[in-house]
Amino acid sequence: KMADAWALLSGCYGRMMGMNPMQGMSLGPKANDAMKKAKEFGPDNPRVWIIDGTSDFYTPSMFGGDKERALEKFEKAARLAEQESIDDPLMPGWGHAEAYAWIGIAHMDAERYDQARAAFENALDLNPDYGWVKEVLLPKANEKQS
């Protein structure tokens, strides 16, 4: 009944479809079912909303994807991560900086570079050593804005 595991399973199915779109017919329903279980077991789990958002972000619109809906899910994940309290050190606690990274990616995709930079800076405020943001995403946003 671990929401994180169900969300990650859904994400794995999504990655498999990305590598072989012909598997979409068989893996799409499995991904959707796994995400439904993730939301059932962890409706306030920010990692569930990040993974669900990446699904919306990468799914073509003709198959139900929606990048603005993905952004809403990333923003929800950031709000939930702000409120999350992990008492068990063995439980996953990532997601806050990652939510801001994905918010930035969604803004970059929509050519909203100021908002993308602000999101990336929020991610780095939370995790100054976040290499993907520090070395790849923020420089790319700065380059696009120049």
Q: Model confidence over 73-110: pLDDT tens digits?
A: 999 999 999 999 888 887 888 999 999 999 999 999 99
Domain ranges in the chain are: 44-145
Return the structure tokens found at 102: 């994905």
- State the chain's mean pLDDT as an integer: 95
Question: Which residue is listed with tokens 């993907």?
Answer: 132
Per-residue pLDDT of 10-37, as tens digits, reads 999 999 999 999 999 999 999 999 999 9
Whether residue 98 contacts residue 131, with contact meaning beta carbons closer than 8 Å, is answered with no
pLDDT of residue 85: 84
CATH topology (fold) of 44-145 = 1.25.40
